[in-house]
Amino acid sequence: MLKYDAHHYDDYLKLKISNFLWFCLLYGVRHLVFFCLLISIPDYVTSVDWLNAQSNWFFIISDTPAALVLLAVGHRLPEAHPVMRWIWLHGKHLLISSYILGVCVFLCLNYTIIQSQDTNNIFLALTLLVTDILIIAMIFKSALIKDIFSEFPPPLIEK
């Protein structure tokens, strides 16, 4: 008997990456994308408040753990390097730490926006913070994500 619905498993009865986990991984590296946009089209990024608030290069520090987990998604193979195996098996904690780092960096960089009484800026800041905090809580509470990160094909030949 399977623990989850059949659509959560691949042909080898290993748990597939869920849609929510894909969203969390891709949303976790959004600052890197915004920073690249800032380099390529700076006028557009500075004119859009929510892009401008998240396009500082300091956010790349918070995107690094999520980027490592995203890289490890493609290495869920029996012959994967032990580093990729370690990253995947600790992926839930790395993803949560990525979001917590993102919240801390956002609070440090946008402290003046949060302190100001401008309702548009405070609404923007609270929306971004609440979104990240909700994602942290959902990753933390999800049993499916815990089970996905606990599965990794065993190596074919033990080293």
3-class state of residue 59 by DSSP: helix
pLDDT in tens, 75-128: 888 888 999 999 999 999 999 999 999 999 999 988 887 777 666 778 888 899
Burial of 90 (0-12, 13-18, 19+ CB in 10 A): middle
For range 131-156, the mean pLDDT: 91
Q: How far apart are CA 83 and CA 88, in angstroms?
A: 9
Residue-wise pLDDT for 18-66, tens only, equals 999 999 999 999 999 999 999 999 999 888 888 888 888 999 999 999 9
Report pLDDT for 49.
83
| Three-class DSSP category at 9 | strand
